[in-house]
Amino acid sequence: MVPRAEPGMLTLTWVGHTSFLVQMAGLNILIDPVWSERASPVQFAGPRRWVSPGIEFDRLPPIDVVVLSHDHYDHLDAPTITRLVERYPAAVWYAPLGTADFLRHRGARDIVERDWWEEGSVGDLHLTCVPAQHFSGRTLGKRNSTLWSGWTLRAPDRTVFFAGDTGLHPEFSSIGARCGPIDVAILPIGAYEPRWFMGSVHMNPEDAVKAFGQLKEAQEGTRLIVAAAHWGTFKLTDEPMDEPPARMRHEWRTAGLPNEDLWIMQHGETRRLG
């Protein structure tokens, strides 16, 4: 990996699931970093990786900012957090309300908690915590005691929207209007079956295309790219592992949308916008 992206350049590298390395505004940003073998409180049971992380941990560039969506094990991984804190003690951690104690207990120092629509900045990077439709809790006794969210990352030249872990909700239009124009929207497309159980908390490809439409409508004709996330890494639900990208491509084509504006990336693949 290059240590820093060139000025004005946005790079997006898929580590797996919703873990991305974003390079923009002269900063290296990790989103929902998970490098453990399992998305679980223990490493001898629970959903195991089908694919290794797209970037080896020791090959990461210097990390300046870590952005978290919520506290589920496939998004907030305690061993990874400990490794990041030890390797990058000066990193700034942006997280939704209620998660700071968890991070602080693992050594994180510079922690910024935010509620929906609250903002913050690191250098030329402007972050906004935005609504998502999900739930939280690492144990049954602490269900929904912390917040879940998406985030927008805005640099002088580019804006990335990370939807987090979410079902389809009515706030995508507001996010586009308030935080746009957005260049790349990282939208989840997997872990959606059965719908009676997952429909309210996980988007399927049809929902992702609808979310894209709401975001796009708020942007008054500017280009919007979708980067697909939340598939192909952990087996969490009933649909086949290879179904989400095929179904997403079908829905995208059916909607008459440009092929070049849908990024379905391989693990470890990097895409760039200059």
Q: In the predicted model, what is the mean pLDDT of residues 31-35?
A: 98
Q: What is the pLDDT of residues 200-242, one digit of tens each?
A: 999 999 999 999 999 999 988 799 999 999 999 999 999 999 9
Residues in the chain: 274
Among 138, 232, 152, residue whose Cα is nearest residue 188: 232
Q: Is the pTM higher than 0.75?
A: yes
- pLDDT for residue 45: 74
Q: In the predicted model, what is the mean pLDDT of residues 15-36?
A: 98
Q: What is the pLDDT of residues 43-63, one digit of tens each?
A: 777 899 999 999 999 999 999
- pLDDT for residue 21: 98
- pLDDT for residue 141: 64
Q: In the predicted model, what is the mean pLDDT of residues 147-168?
A: 97
Upstream peptide bond of 181 is cis (omega within 30 degrees of 0): yes
Whether 13 has a pLDDT exceeding 70, the answer reads yes
- pLDDT for residue 145: 86
Q: What is the pLDDT of residues 154-163, one digit of tens each?
A: 999 999 999 9
- Of 3.40.190.10, 3.30.450.20, 3.40.430.10, 3.60.15.10, the CATH number of 10-269 is 3.60.15.10
Angle at 215 between CA 194 and CA 267, to 5 degrees: 60
What whole-number distance in Å separates Cα of residue 261 and Cα of residue 198? 27
Q: In the predicted model, what is the mean pLDDT of residues 27-48?
A: 90
Q: What residues pair up with 79 in beta bridges, in sequence order?
A: none
- pLDDT for residue 1: 62
DSSP string, the chain: --SSPPTT-EEEEEEETTEEEEEETTEEEEES---SSBSSSSSSSS-BBSS--SS-GGGPPPP-EEE----STTTS-HHHHHHHHHH-TT-EEEEETT-HHHHHHTT--EEEEE-TT-EEEETTEEEEEE-------SSGGGTTSS---EEEEE-SS-EEEE--S----TTHHHHHHHH---SEEEEE-----SHHHHTTTS--HHHHHHHHHHHHHTTTT---EEEEES-SSB--SSS-TTHHHHHHHHHHHHTT--GGGEE-PPTT-EEEE-
Q: What is the pLDDT of residues 84-100, one digit of tens each?
A: 999 999 999 999 999 99
Mean pLDDT, all residues of the chain: 95
Tokens at 215, concatenated: 């975001």
- pLDDT for residue 99: 96
Q: What is the pLDDT of residues 97-107, one digit of tens each?
A: 999 999 999 99
